[in-house]
Amino acid sequence: MKPVLSAWLVNALCLTAHLGSALQLDITSPDSIRSTASEVAYDMMSYYTGNRTGDVPGNLPAPYY
């Protein structure tokens, strides 16, 4: 690999490293499970527009696959 390309790749990885995140889950705590499941469900529902006034229920935004 060329030195310039590898330096560019390292910089790109460093700039995008903060985009990933993890949720804290304690599998022995029912409250932790509920809280984490609620957060995941909320994040997934943010992509769904069918519950807005005037929109068609069940209509998923493109791309729906």
Tell me whether residue 25 is exposed, middle or buried, using C-beta atoms within 10 angstroms of its C-beta: 0 to 12, 13 to 18, 19 or more: middle
Whether the per-residue pLDDT at 1 is higher than 60: the answer is: no
Is pLDDT of 63 > 70?
yes
Is the residue at 28 inside a domain? yes
**What is the per-residue pLDDT across 9-58, written as a single tens digit (0 to 9) for each?**
777 766 665 566 788 889 999 999 999 999 999 988 887 777 778 877 77
What are the angstrom distances between the C-alpha of 55 and each of 18, 47, 50, 58? Answer: 34, 13, 5, 9
**Is residue 29 in a domain?**
yes
Would residue 17 count as lying in a domain? no
Q: What is the pLDDT of residue 18?
A: 59
pLDDT given at position 22: 80
In a domain, 64, yes or no: no
Looking at residue 36, what is its pLDDT?
A: 92
Domain with 33 in it: 22-46
The domain total for the chain is 1
